[in-house]
Amino acid sequence: MPSSAILCPPGFLDRLEAFSQLGSTGDGGVDRVEASMANGEARRALARRMDELGYQVRIDPVGNMFGLMPLAEQFAGQELPWVFAGSHIDSQPKGGRLDGAYGVIAAVEAGAALKERLRGRPVAANLAVVAWTGEEGARFQPSVLGSSVHAGLLPAETALARKDGNGVSLAQALDAIGFRGTDHAPKPAAYVELHVECADALEKSGRRLGVFDRWWGAHKIELMFIGATAHTGPTPMAERKDALLAAAEVITGLRRLADAAPPGTLHTSVGRLEVLPNSPNVVPDRAKLFMEIRSVDPDVMADAHARLMGLIPHAAAIARVAHRIVREEIRPPGAFAPSLRSLAREQAAALDVEPLGLDTIAAHDAVPMAIVCPAVVLAVPSRDGLCHSPREWTEPADLELGAAWLGAVLERLVTEGPQHG
């Protein structure tokens, strides 16, 4: 076990702080929405730093940024697998400075420190650090866009054609900041992501490190109710075809499904509602709902979905409207690689910390990666569980501990091989 002496890379907190000035909103947060000017500035700073540390910078067609560190150069001619570490540097419009960026900066700095430590020692893998495009889904949907493309779950052309609210495609937006690349990147043999928890289980337990064991699944459904416009004054109540009334029935019904389930087993939401014509004195003829059902149990998800499908015709009948499912998308729940989870626990023990096992309800780039290779997410506490907020905060000592932990995990993977365990 080589790693009890592994420390946080030198200057790490200063680098992280300097990076959070790019796209700063002045209140501790950042606005680095994907392919915005601030995001482009952050990408350029990241590319410069990768280059300075000896990484070969590669940009793929959807703007994913890779820093390749071929540690196995001494085995010329031998194809060694690639161990990946990274996260994302895009943010929500009023996002926090740690969500994503923490994992990317830690991977870049820890990878360079690892290269120094490995000088003259045999290795079993190369290292690649990565900043994935469009993890947040704030501007281009779906979320975890770039990692899904690299995992082969989403065609690059589909991702590039996705449009923001102003009709600008990802391709156009990446062109505008000069980050629509042509490079090919290797495929990962293992993927490690360091991330702030974005929930409060660590804080509540008093533990400083967490390992994500499982991810929750999400079933996202866009539903349209179609009624008829009419004057809200004279039209008799019994003759109205009110699309918004049907939407209201579904909104409260979907909430009741979660309230009736054991706590912490089912989350449901309607996060967005589009109403037309959206005039105070016109009965709405269109209401579009953006709904979500989330659980770690596929049976709970399926049951909630079946109940929702039962609610919809009932709501439509009450409001005398038609309905249509516009789009459905399922991300099944799953478990991260047991081999990587136990390796992460061993390396935490070497740092004298016992990590807490966690579920992630939010998506991370490690979820699409987990479909194609062993993957794991290492977590440090989020104060008050806050994420997507300028008030995101993790104790500096915990940020350093997490970066040291990532370095220790990567060292094991690179020296022993990604199929470890």
User: Which tokens belong to 74?
Assistant: 């001494």
Q: Does 392 help bind Zn ion (rule: CB under 5 A)?
A: no
CB of 136 to Zn ion, least distance (A): 7
CB of 295 to Zn ion, least distance (A): 21
Instruction: Tell me the window of 98-106, 108-116, 139-147, 320-328 that interacts with Zn ion (CB under 5 A).
Output: 98-106
Q: How far is CA 76 from the centre of its chain?
A: 36
Q: Does 134 help bind Zn ion (rule: CB under 5 A)?
A: no
Instruction: Tell me the window of 48-56, 93-101, 212-220, 283-291 that interacts with Zn ion (CB under 5 A).
Output: 93-101
Size of the site for Zn ion (CB under 5 A): 2
Distance CA 160, CA 61 (A): 8
Q: Sheet containing 267-276: give its strands across.
A: 267-276, 286-295, 217-226, 322-331
Residue least distant from Zn ion (Cβ): 100
CB of 99 to Zn ion, least distance (A): 4
**Which CB atom, from 86 or from 284, has the smaller least distance to Zn ion?**
86
The backbone torsions φ and ψ at residue 248, rounded to the nearest 5 degrees and listed phi first, read -60, -40
CB of 169 to Zn ion, least distance (A): 23
Distance CA 169, CA 101 (A): 24
CB of 316 to Zn ion, least distance (A): 37
The separation between the first and the last C-alpha atoms of the chain, rounded to the nearest angstrom, is 14
User: Which tokens belong to 155?
Assistant: 């065609």
Q: Is 236 exposed, middle or buried (0-12, 13-18, 19+ CB in 10 A)?
A: exposed
Q: How far is CA 387 from the centre of its chain?
A: 12
CB of 22 to Zn ion, least distance (A): 16
**Which CB atom, from 270 or from 377, has the smaller least distance to Zn ion?**
377
CB of 385 to Zn ion, least distance (A): 14
Helix (H) or strand (E) holding 317: helix 298-319
**Which CB atom, from 99 or from 249, has the smaller least distance to Zn ion?**
99
Instruction: Tell me the window of 99-107, 123-131, 215-223, 338-346 that interacts with Zn ion (CB under 5 A).
Output: 99-107
Instruction: Tell me the window of 17-25, 36-44, 91-99, 264-272 that interacts with Zn ion (CB under 5 A).
Output: 91-99
**Which CB atom, from 81 or from 217, has the smaller least distance to Zn ion?**
217
Annotate each residue in 337-366 with x if it binds Zn ion (CB under 5 A) or - if it does not, as one string: ------------------------------
Binding residue (CB under 5 A) for Zn ion from 100, 146, 374, 402: 100
Q: Is 359 exposed, middle or buried (0-12, 13-18, 19+ CB in 10 A)?
A: middle
**Which CB atom, from 366 or from 414, has the smaller least distance to Zn ion?**
366
**Which CB atom, from 225 or from 405, has the smaller least distance to Zn ion?**
405
Distance CA 50, CA 381 (A): 27
**Which CB atom, from 104 or from 401, has the smaller least distance to Zn ion?**
104
**Which CB atom, from 60 or from 365, has the smaller least distance to Zn ion?**
365
Give the orientation angle of helix 12-19 with respect to helix 396-416, to 10 degrees.
110
CB of 364 to Zn ion, least distance (A): 6
CB of 393 to Zn ion, least distance (A): 15
Residue 195: partners with Cβ closer than 8 Å, 6 or more residues away: 87, 99, 100, 102, 103, 364, 377, 378, 379
Instruction: Tell me the window of 74-82, 97-105, 186-194, 413-421 that interacts with Zn ion (CB under 5 A).
Output: 97-105
CB of 336 to Zn ion, least distance (A): 16
Q: Does 99 help bind Zn ion (rule: CB under 5 A)?
A: yes
| Residue 49 CA: distances (Å) to CA of 43, 104, 175 | 10, 11, 22
Angle, CA 48 vertex, CA 47 and CA 52 arms, to 5°: 115
Residues that bind Zn ion (CB under 5 A): 99-100
